[in-house]
Amino acid sequence: MLKKILGLVVVGGLGYVGYDYYRAGFHTAPEHQPGDFLLSYSNGLRAVVRGIDNEKASRTYLGYPASNVPSWYQETWSICCTSTQEEANAFTTQVEIGPGGRLEAICEIDADGDVFVRGWITSVPDL
């Protein structure tokens, strides 16, 4: 009886891991370069973070999707790179990140040469 229960727990756990992986869209992630890392949020923002150190062990990454993204790009992976000081100032005037928070990247989608902002990635200390 204990073996059956343990087997059900293992199968259920593996099923949940597979479901979570599929729901986050990692199966559709584009090829990425060494040093890149992936972030996927329930709000639809999917990000390939490039050129930024992965500090998941000490910081929590938050995703802010742009509100004017067409519905057909909602599940598209965007490339996120360090923002310029001008972009950071524009973002922080509209969003209060809070103490210890910082804007990490701006995420963009290149639709046949037409590049638009998909969202922003911020981080806060993992206390």
Block means of pLDDT (10 residues each) for the chain, length 127 residues?
Answer: 78 68 62 87 90 91 89 88 87 86 92 90 91
pTM to 2 decimal places: 0.78
Q: What is the pLDDT of residue 122?
A: 93
Q: What is the pLDDT of residue 20?
A: 58
Q: What is the pLDDT of residue 125?
A: 94
Q: What is the pLDDT of residue 17?
A: 65
DSSP β-bridge partners for residue 87? none
DSSP β-bridge partners for residue 114? 111
Give the domain ranges of the chain.
1-30, 31-125
Measure the N-to-C terminal CA separation of the chain; round to a whole number of Å: 42
Q: How far is CA 23 from CA 3, 8, 121, in A?
A: 30, 22, 20
Q: What is the pLDDT of residue 24?
A: 53
Tell me 71's DSSP state.
G
Q: What is the pLDDT of residue 19?
A: 58
Q: What is the pLDDT of residue 42?
A: 87
Q: What is the pLDDT of residue 25?
A: 58
Q: What is the pLDDT of residue 76?
A: 87
